[in-house]
Amino acid sequence: MSVMSGRRSVVAAGALALLVTGCSSTEEPEVEQVATTFEDPTGDARERCGLLVPTALEQLEQDAGAACEDAIGDLPLEGGDVARVEVWGGDAQVRLDGDTVFLTKTSTGWRVAAALCSPRPEGPYDCGVEGS
């Protein structure tokens, strides 16, 4: 392979990487805001519940045996400062000091798909709030 064509390959691959990561970074502020609002224990219960995807909302209410607005205050959603945000396509993960939240992009914006998530040695996170 010639030096020039090799450089062009690297530049083009770098441009693609920039496109992939650049598109993700523009979504990060909204993702972070949704996660921190949902995890804020002093926030408005109705607003927090409105940030859940329908399946997670339904599961939460089924598990609690009560409306989300009445039950969300009892959940140990500790939130805290944002440690890391990952956005890949229509899915995202926000690591907070006290929790890990997974989000998905819907027609109305980013919504919480799973929260109260703890990592397991193998396999997916174990989440206390999650759609079935």
Partner 1 sequence: MTARSRGFLRDNSLSLVFGGLFLVTLVGQALAGLADYNADQVAQGLATVSLGEFVTSSTFGVDVMENWQSEYLQFFLFIYLTVWLIQVGSTESKPVGDEGKEGDKQQKVGRYADRNSPAWAKVGGWRTALYSRSLGTLMGSLFLLTWAASSIAGWAAYNSRQLADREDPVSWAGYLGEADFWNRSFQNWQSEFLAVGSMAVFSVYLRHRGSPESKAVGESHATTGSSG
Torsion-angle region of 109 (φ positive above 0: left; ψ -120 to 50: alpha; else: beta): left
Of the pair 73, 124, the CB lying nearest partner 1 is at 124
Token digits for 101? Answer: 């939240």
**Chain centroid, CA 60 distance in Å:** 17
Distance (Å, whole) CA 97 – CA 132: 26
Distance (Å, whole) CA 47 – CA 65: 20
Q: By CB under 8 A, which span of 1-9, 43-51, 60-68, 69-77 interacts with partner 1? A: 1-9
Q: Does 106 sit near partner 1 (CB under 8 A)?
A: yes
Q: What string marks each residue from 7 to 36 as x (binds partner 1 by CB under 8 A) or -?
A: -xxx-xx--xx-xx--x-------------
56-85 positions binding partner 1, by CB under 8 A: none
Residues 6+ apart with CB under 8 A from 129: 52, 56, 59, 60, 75, 112, 114, 115, 116
Smallest distance, partner 1 to C-beta of residue 94, A: 11
- Residues near partner 1, by CB under 8 A: 1-2, 5-6, 8-10, 12-13, 16-17, 19-20, 23, 53-55, 86, 88-93, 102, 104-108, 114, 117, 119, 123-125, 127, 130
